[in-house]
Amino acid sequence: MSTELLDRPDVEAAESDAVRFRVGGMDCAACAATVAKVVEAVDGVETAEVSIGNGTMRVEGSAPAEAIQEAVRRVGYSAQLASSLRGPSVPFWRQSARTFSTTMAIGTLIAAVVASLTTLPDEVSSMLFLLTLALGGWGIVISAVAAMRQRTLDMNVLMALASIGALAIGDYAEAAWVIVLFAVGNALEELALERSRRSVESLRELAPSTANVIAGGEEIPTPVAEIRTGSSIVIRPGERLPLDGEVISGASSVDESTLTGESVPVDKAVGASVFAGTLNVAGSFTMRSTSGSEDSTLAQVTSLVSDAQGSRAPSERFVDRFARIYTPIVLLAAVLVAVIPTLAGGSFDEWFYRGLALLIVACPCALVISVPASVVAAIGGSAKIGVLVKGGQVLEDLASIQALALDKTGTLTKARPELVTIATVAEMDDDEALALMAAVEKGSEHPLGQALVRSASDAKSVELEVSGFEALPGRGAVATVSGRSLWAGGPRLAAEHDAELPVEFENLQARGETVVALGEGSDVLAIFGLADEPRIEASSAVEGLRDRAGISEVVMLTGDSEPVAAAIAKRSGITRWRAGLLPEDKLDEVIRLEREVGPTAMVGDGVNDSPALAGSTVGVAMGAAGSDVALDSADVALMGDDLMRLPDAINHSRWAVRIMKQNVSVSLITKAIFVVLAPLGFVSLITAIAVDMGVSLLVTLNGLRLLRRPATHSLRETPGDPGPVAVAATAEGDVCEEDCCSP
């Protein structure tokens, strides 16, 4: 997925792969289809993807932004570059010509109603009703004409036909009411959806616009957009961080809740990673920037969430297909209701009026908006607790999960193993053995290798010349150290070199230590035992997956040895595990779970987990904050290292699917009832439009309930308590300590 979108109004699309616009005035999928077709007809545009859910358009090609905006304007909608919306906000009623004219139409409609109730001549109220039609209906007519030119039937076409029909039979008041209620309903829907869009996009604005950069020994206030990677920046208490970086001096506590959803500040010392938009709570420190303003984790997350909100869920695709068939049938039915009884001797005005009522009440507006409104809000709500769900498809897949596979290292454990035991086999002391091992593992990204390198910092070591390093996923690593061809790994790699592991290897494994051997050819030089502690929340998270999320099968998959796997599984509350797995073996296990149990999620954090993450129904990356690979590759990214977020994310997705079903059901049932009542003469035009727009607003507001911060369960240390306490944070930020939350 491409996540780099052009956000600078002074640069044309020719300089980037894609430009993102915010499109205003759309109220249905057919409107989005009209905008897409019109934009794709602009010279230089290759593709245009329009989302009704988050009101955005992503355009690829070399066409100037101005040409695209003009094309959208001609068909009655508005388009602004995404970045142009970051300035001071204006009242909603002044955001576009269409909303402004709708506001004016409300005023003239009120005046017309007052005039009709007084002794003023009928011509006065009629003129005011006609003025209301002109003010409130010009945008609708323009959009309707554009839709018909593109051979599409949307809500604007149906409403334009209904109002013209009401005028034809001389009912100016009802025609005006139809137009104003429709326009007001659309404006309110757009306002409600804009709330959910802005709740996520406002994250980007958390990063300050200027920062104090150290240059020539002085602090110089500098625009963040001009700060280069590698610059030193001073951060004081109460300041938000401008960029991603690394602490190079000082120490502090940083509130990272904007990214990870975790409200407890994280201690930061020299060498710690810090992220743009987070809040420095306590001390001062100096950081070295590691990214530009558009490449920070905060910017990436904002773009990814925005893209995800614009994606189409399977339910939405079904509703769109239904609407494309349903709308022409409704139009035909309205014509038949107006024509057939009239030909049979009925009153033309009466049956024509009933046909118009059917035309309005049967509009699938509420049905079409019901799913995208829920998707936008659900993804935004998940982002508030530090869970990035990449689209409507993933949201529905996550709700269907029945089995879960968990990697061990970095997922269930802290991924920070410590060296516990050194046993040399050859004639060398511990420090020499550790120095050689650290030299082999120096280029490794594996947590075990990094632990060995850390442990060697205090060992008797000299600068060793290292070349030919190669990581062997699932087996170990090889390198040439000062001319010696060395290998570091477990039984598999030892067997490949025909090396016989000493008895101590099995003894350390039996104690639950992860054991790595250092060898040269067929000789084992030393063995190293490391221990990795389970995360404090591991057992509570596993219990939550079973009890709160209803996951029937939780399995641990690891490349580690059987004794180590058994020890970690037991302490984490897991009853099933598979040890000694290569990356391809993990994928096979995930496929087996999907076949035997059902849709399966794989949770991992390393390169070794990539095949299983990609092959599962939903791939979940742990601790994705600051990791470009995890952000790009996973379907769901837990921005922090809190595994307790996973049951919350699953439950939130299931709530979202329930709300989608509620919205679709309410829309269909309401339409069915009034489609029957309209031809029987029980529905007026005003009632029809009130019902249509009322249901549309109802499903939109119901979907926006998902925008609330989901209840979260996490662990905290309580002074004086014997251990960690499981805490459930409600949407309002309170906590509960009920039996359901205890470890």
Collect all residues with Cβ–Cβ distance below 8 Å to 529 and sequence separation of at least 6.
419, 420, 421, 422, 423, 508, 511, 513, 514, 515
Q: Is the pLDDT of residue 13 over 90?
A: no
- Written as six digits, the tokens of 1 are 């997925």
Euclidean distance between CA atoms 715 and 285, whole angstroms: 28
CA distance 600 to 591: 8
Of residues 237, 337, 331, 232, the one with CA closest to residue 286: 232
CB-based contact 242:264 (threshold 8 Å): no
- 676 Cβ contact list (under 8 Å, min separation 6): none
Q: Quick one: which of 434, 600, 572 has its CA closest to 512? A: 572
d(CA 173, CA 116): 9
Task: Give the pLDDT of residue 740.
Answer: 37
Residue 88 has pLDDT above 50, yes or no: no
- Domains, the chain, ranges and CATH? 13-93 (3.30.70.100), 97-200+308-375+659-705 (no CATH), 208-295 (2.70.150.10), 388-414+534-650 (3.40.50.1000), 418-531 (3.40.1110.10), 711-741 (no CATH)
CA dist., res. 76 & res. 144, Å (int): 9
Angle, alpha carbons 486-492-494 (nearest 5°): 40
Residue with tokens 């001389």, as numbered in its chain: 170
Lowest-pLDDT range, 250-264, 392-406, 706-720? 706-720
Mean pLDDT value across residues 588-600: 93
Q: Given this model, what pLDDT does residue 9 score?
A: 35
- Mean local confidence (pLDDT), 587-599: 93
pLDDT score of 158: 79
pLDDT score at 165: 86
Angle made by CA atoms 145, 148, 151, in degrees to the nearest 5: 160
Angle between helices 430-441 and 447-455 (to 10 degrees): 140
The 10 Å Cβ neighbour count of residue 230 is 9
- Reported confidence tier of residue 199, pLDDT bands at 50, 70, 90: low
Among 92-101, 108-117, 605-614, 703-712, the minimum mean pLDDT is found in 92-101
Select the more confidently predicted residue: 162 or 2.
Answer: 162
3-class secondary structure per residue, 297-337: HHHHHHHHHHHHHCCCCHHHHHHHHHHHHHHHHHHHHHHHH
Run of H or E including 638? strand 636-638
Q: What is the mean pLDDT of the segment spanning 27-52?
A: 82
Q: What is the pLDDT of residue 696?
A: 83
- What does the pLDDT read at residue 735? 37
Residue 380 banded pLDDT, cuts 50, 70, 90: confident
Give percent of the chain above pLDDT 70. Answer: 84
Least confident residue range of 48-52, 348-352, 723-727: 723-727
User: pLDDT > 90: what percent of the chain?
Assistant: 25
Sheet holding 712-717, edge to edge: 712-717, 724-729, 735-736
Q: Which of 307-316, 602-611, 625-634 has the highest mean pLDDT?
A: 602-611
Torsion of CA 184, 188, 193, 196, to 10 degrees: 160
Residue 407 annotated in active site:
yes
Instruction: Flag the least confident range among 459-473, 493-507, 565-579, 721-735.
Output: 721-735
pLDDT, greater one: 496 or 261: 496
What is the model's pLDDT at position 93?
54
The pLDDT-based confidence of 714 (bands split at 50, 70, 90) is low
pLDDT at 92 over 60: no
User: What's the confidence (pLDDT) of residue 250?
Assistant: 92
Enter the tokens of residue 304: 């990814």
CA distance 479 to 29: 58
**What CA–CA distance (Å, rounded) separates 33 from 36?**
5
Statement: residue 513 has pLDDT above 90 = no
pLDDT for the residue numbered 111: 92
CB atoms within 10 A of CB 420: 16
Q: What is the pLDDT of residues 398-443, one digit of tens each?
A: 999 999 999 888 788 877 788 989 999 888 888 889 999 999 988 8
- Give the three-state DSSP class for 539: helix
Helices (H) and strands (E) in the chain, counts: 23, 29
pLDDT > 60? residue 728: no
Give the start-end residues of each E strand in 390-502.
403-407, 418-424, 466-472, 476-481, 484-489
Answer whether residue 606 shows pLDDT above 50: yes
Q: Give the pLDDT band of residue 197 (cuts 50, 70, 90).
A: low
Task: Please answer whether residues 428 and 577 qualify as being in contact, where contact means their C-beta atoms are separated by less than 8 angstroms.
Answer: no
pLDDT band at 27 (very low <50, low <70, confident <90, very high): low
Which is catalytic among the residues 7, 255, 407, 532?
A: 407
pLDDT in tens, 307-323: 776 666 777 777 777 87
Contacts of 57 (CB under 8 A, 6+ apart): 20, 21, 22, 23, 35, 36, 39, 48, 49, 50, 51, 72, 79
pLDDT of residue 712: 63
CA 515 to CA 534: how far, in whole Å? 17
Which whole number is the average pLDDT over 190-200? 65
Q: Could you report how far apart the first and last alpha carbons of the chain are, in Å?
A: 39
Q: Model confidence at 722, in pLDDT bands (50, 70, 90)? A: very low
Query: What integer best gives the mean pLDDT of the chain?
Result: 81
Of 735 and 109, more confident:
109
Tokens 């062997």 found at: 472
Nearest Cα residue to 411 out of 250, 572, 567, 223:
572
216 phi-psi bin (left φ>0, alpha ψ -120 to 50, beta other): left
- d(Cα 51, Cα 81) in Å, to the nearest integer? 15
